[in-house]
Amino acid sequence: MFKLFHNDTLIGTISNAMPDEMAMVGDILLTAEAARFDELFRFLSDEKNYGEDPPFEDALLEGWQIENEGGERLGIFVPTIYPDGTICWR
């Protein structure tokens, strides 16, 4: 089980994580704190926005981390979280 953080804020808990080509995918259970990122997640998960630069401040696009079961954190690019609860990250 992994945890998704934005800086020091827990955004969600990830289960069923597995590699998918050059990325990782899994299922995420979001916390209440994730609500402030709803617009960002909607933008990134909408296929019509593929290749577009996200129109958000750098503070929202940076500071994303995955924490493993051992408590170690690894910086990642902003993840894509789909409405069905799927997460994709690198």
User: What residues are paired with 25 via a beta bridge?
Assistant: 18, 88
Question: For the CA atoms of the chain, what is the radius of gyration?
Answer: 12
The confidence score (pLDDT) of residue 89 equals 96
Q: Distance (Å, rounded) from C-alpha 56 to C-alpha 60? A: 7
Q: What spatial distance separates the first Cα and last Cα of the chain, rounded to whole Å? A: 16
So what's the pLDDT on residue 21? 86
Q: Is the pLDDT of residue 56 over 90?
A: yes
pLDDT reported for residue 30: 97
With bands split at pLDDT 50, 70 and 90, how would you rate the model's confidence at 66?
very high
Please state, for a pLDDT cut of 90, what percent of the chain lies above it: 91
- What is the identity of the amino acid at 86? T
Each residue's pLDDT tens digit, 12-55: 999 999 998 889 999 999 999 999 999 999 999 999 998 888 99
High-pLDDT (> 70) share of the chain, %:
100
